[in-house]
Amino acid sequence: MYDGKYNATREGVTRRGFLHRLGRTTGFGVMASLGFAGVPEVAKQTAKDINNYRKYAVTQGSRSSSQSLRNAIQHLINVGGGEYELLTLGYGVDAEQGYKANDFRLGQILRQTIDDVDRTIGGVLQAIYSIFDAVTLDALPNPPNEEYNNTPHPMRPLRFAGSSICDLARTGIDLANIPTLGLADNVLSSAYKTLDEVVEAVKETAQAGTNLLRKPAYLIASKDKADRVVDWVALVPLEWATNVAKFEGFTNLDRNNYQRMLKEKGYTGLIIEFAGSSWLLYKAINRDHHHHRSKKKPEEKPPEFPELPGESKPPKFPRLP
């Protein structure tokens, strides 16, 4: 009987066990690399990155409650435009969308799929190599790869793991484009854009409330100092949660975004967003796995034995008032 728990002895290595082992291995490699890099240097870089992440949160939101509400309303208006774009597969908007370039062009779709599959395989192998390299404290020889050599040793497992996840997602979209003649990415891109506007509207609405903390803070400290302190309560947590929900922990590390996101968020920002998105992805996979297991293995009922001849049942007495 399946009781919702995993029995490694009976079932071998399960998906949950694999994810746990991968997480432990990657975490150990990163922690070992941080120690290898030197605590003072890491602490100095972390302090700088944390302040950069606060500044990034300020640029993505607002310190004014009224401005936050106006931003939320604008995002809600954009939701309607995203739904219209989704229903019309992108052809209802005048703007040129990149995802329409391959519509009804099977040859281009197949070539793109082959290129992305090749890139995905290479990216996954590179991510695995970076994990082993981190665990062995950079003892393995560096491959002739400019991206690999220019990435700090502690960041390599996270960067290439996140990039591989993006490559896998891109390859999955390519495969879906083949039977749909390129319309799958129209739907997915429009749907993601709509969900992005919804999440941003929720964030701006919440920040309109948390920004009210600034008024009493101004009575205690100077405006500049109070703003910096309140940013950690009013803006940074909501910005982090929003980016995690949009899986920016992975897209930050994509080869097309990495350098720009590193400049804006710093190494620490990339790490904490990757951790949040990884946890969210793990919970989604684990929940889906539980759902399918419960369907495949319904709860077993005890067998019912037939009544033997001459066997009498106990008499039923009337219930007393």
The conformation of residue 154, written as its DSSP 8-state character, comes to: G
Residue 273 in contact with residue 249, Cβ under 8 Å? Answer: yes
CA torsion sign for 196, 198, 199, 200 is positive
Report the interhelical angle of 15-37 vs 106-135 (nearest 10°).
60
Measured CA to CA, the distance from residue 131 to residue 145 in angstroms comes to: 16
pLDDT of residue 195: 93
Residue 139 in contact with residue 95, Cβ under 8 Å? Answer: no
Please indicate, yes or no, whether the overall pTM of this predicted structure exceeds 0.95.
Answer: no
Distance, C-alpha 284 to centroid of its chain:
10
Q: Which of 2-6, 118-122, 212-216, 282-286 has the lowest mean pLDDT?
A: 2-6
Q: Which of 16-20, 55-59, 128-132, 134-138 has the lowest mean pLDDT?
A: 16-20
Residue 140 pLDDT exceeds 60 = yes
Share above pLDDT 70 across residues of the chain, in percent, rounded to a whole number: 76
How many Å is the maximal CA-CA distance in the chain?
93
- Contacts of 56-60 with CB under 8 Å at 24 or more apart are 56/239, 56/264, 56/265, 56/269, 57/231, 57/235, 57/236, 57/238, 57/239, 57/240, 58/231, 58/235, 60/239
pLDDT of residue 254: 94
pLDDT of residue 44: 80
Q: Tell me the average pLDDT across 148-156.
A: 88
pLDDT of residue 225: 93
Measured CA to CA, the distance from residue 178 to residue 116 in angstroms comes to: 13
The 10s digit of each residue's pLDDT in 83-126 is 888 888 888 776 666 788 889 999 999 999 999 999 999 999 99
- 180: exposed, middle or buried (C-beta count within 10 Å: 0-12, 13-18, 19+)? middle
9 pLDDT band, cuts 50/70/90, is: very low
pLDDT of residue 152: 87
Of 318 and 41, the structure prediction assigns the larger pLDDT to: 41
**Domain extent listing, the chain:** 40-58+235-293
309 pLDDT band, cuts 50/70/90, is: low
